[in-house]
């Protein structure tokens, strides 16, 4: 039955209903569909199934927490123990010393929270003109109000009656530091509240940073009194071979956005780690201001218990280190694809993820469908690019299988 009520996200619904792929089971790096096919999950679902599918330990953590207390909100003076413990754990793990943590329901929530908070910060600093949030071309920061507004993918931002849902936004070149700084200088940074960036651009096509770009943009932000927001929704919790990409690229963020790998998708949960420069004023003194923001399910006790179990698995099984090892395995496996006549470019080596950009004359969606027919689940992201981002439990042979399957699929066109 194709005519079902579910409205898929980011979907052309007539196509999605006609070609719907229903996943029913998962085990490690593998999935089973409703028609009985077994598929290697080359995308870790939406970049998040880091510890693999079907972890009984994580399911039991959710069950035990629900039996005790499914959740209780964290508004006002209320809290629950899993939320308190997780916030402390993230503050210790994260790339910010002495930070505070606000919990959310996912990555898009974290983006909206951060964009509101940087504007609130400058209002309290007595600099109300600093409202503009700068992002990079081809960037993806979710699809909530602010995320839509700062999107570097035009098709995600357009179609709502204005150039940007929130008007105070600006996009800069994603890889050319000189051009980016020149544009910022011309615009005038007196109005800029923050620069937000992904250390490795994900949905925008899997682009690692050009040498010197991140460091240069960070130095500019520090010199011009602009906050730096690092979106680690995809890169956080091991995808780049360290717990956070900010460590790998020597970034010193004022805010760090987290989600996806925080629970490996076993529960919807996100977080924003906030440096003392921004957070301290809200914690100090009887006259401390309030940040009037919150979500019904922020600090959800069961989701936080799931996050603890997921982080335990990452640490005890050495999966972050495994991702670092598999980064080279994947880069070596996909490199021969660069010579295929139907491949425009292969991008790998900035973590355990890769993008294979197919030439414009061939639809990447058709190649992805052929991969599925051959037993490997991938999908197309920006610039006609096949996404490869497997779970950390994927074996070396399975990583190579992804690459050879893409090659075999391309050979059919």
Instruction: Please tell me the predicted confidence (pLDDT) of residue 3.
Output: 85
pLDDT of 1 higher than 70:
no
pLDDT per residue over 123-166, tens digit each? 999 999 999 999 999 999 999 999 999 999 999 999 999 989 99
DSSP 227-251: EEEEE-TTTTTTTTSSS-HHHHTT-
Q: Does the domain at residues 59-316 carry the CATH identifier 3.40.50.2300?
A: no
| Confidence grade of residue 406 (pLDDT, cut at 50, 70, 90) | very high
Domain with CATH 3.40.640.10 in the chain: 59-316
pTM across the whole model: 0.98
From residue 383, give the alpha-carbon distance in Å to each of 3, 204, 300, 365.
30, 7, 37, 11
User: Which residues on neighbouring strands pair with residue 170, listed in sequence order?
Assistant: 134
Level-2 CATH architecture, domain 13-55+318-410: Alpha-Beta Complex (3.90)
Domain with CATH 3.90.1150.10 in the chain: 13-55+318-410
Instruction: Please tell me the predicted confidence (pLDDT) of residue 163.
Output: 87
What lies within 8 Å, CB to CB, of 171 at 6+ separation is 134, 135, 136, 137, 139, 150, 152
Average pLDDT on 178-185 reads: 98
Helices (H) and strands (E) in the chain, counts: 15, 15
Give the dihedral sign, CA 154/128/116/118.
positive
The answer to whether the CB of 23 falls within 8 A of the CB of 372 is no
């Amino acid at each position: 039955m194709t005519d079902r009520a579910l409205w898929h996200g980011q979907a052309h619904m007539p196509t999605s209903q006609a070609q719907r792929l229903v996943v029913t089971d998962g085990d490690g790096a593998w999935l089973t569909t409703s028609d009985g096919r077994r598929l290697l999950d080359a995308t870790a679902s939406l970049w998040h199934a880091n510890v693999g599918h079907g972890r009984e330990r994580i399911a039991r953590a959710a069950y035990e927490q629900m039996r005790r207390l499914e959740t209780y909100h964290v508004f006002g003076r209320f809290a629950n123990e899993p939320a308190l413990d997780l916030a402390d754990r993230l503050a210790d793990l994260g790339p910010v010393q002495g930070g505070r943590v606000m919990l959310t329901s996912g990555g898009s929530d974290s983006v909206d929270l951060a964009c509101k908070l940087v504007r609130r910060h400058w209002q309290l600093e007595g600099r109300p003109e600093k409202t503009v949030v700068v992002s990079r071309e081809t960037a993806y920061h979710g699809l909530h109000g602010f995320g839509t507004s700062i999107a570097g993918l035009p098709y995600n931002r357009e179609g709502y009656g204005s150039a940007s849902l929130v008007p105070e936004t600006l996009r800069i070149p994603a890889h050319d530091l000189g051009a980016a700084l020149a544009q910022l200088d011309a615009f005038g940074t007196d109005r800029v509240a923050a620069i937000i960036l992904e250390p490795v651009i994900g949905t925008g096509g899997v682009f690692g940073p050009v040498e010197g770009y991140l460091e240069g943009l960070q130095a500019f932000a520090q010199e011009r009194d602009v906050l730096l927001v690092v979106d680690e929704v995809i890169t956080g919790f091991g995808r780049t071979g360290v717990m956070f990409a900010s460590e790998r690229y020597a970034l010193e963020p004022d805010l760090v956005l987290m989600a996806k790998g925080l629970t490996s998708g076993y529960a919807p949960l996100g977080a924003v780690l906030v440096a003392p420069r921004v957070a301290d004023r809200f914690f100090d003194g009887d006259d401390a201001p309030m940040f009037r923001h919150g979500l019904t399910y922020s600090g959800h006790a069961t989701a936080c218990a799931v996050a603890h179990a997921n982080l335990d698995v990452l640490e005890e099984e050495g999966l972050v280190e495994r991702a670092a090892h598999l980064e080279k395995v994947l880069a070596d496996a996909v490199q021969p694809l660069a010579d295929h006549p139907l491949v425009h470019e292969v991008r790998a080596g900035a973590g355990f993820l890769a993008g294979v950009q197919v030439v414009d004359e061939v639809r990447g969606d058709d190649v992805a469908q052929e991969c599925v027919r051959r037993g490997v689940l991938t999908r197309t992201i920006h610039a006609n690019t096949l996404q490869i981002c497997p779970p950390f439990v994927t074996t070396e042979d399975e990583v190579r299988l992804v690459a050879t399957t893409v090659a075999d699929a391309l050979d059919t066109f």
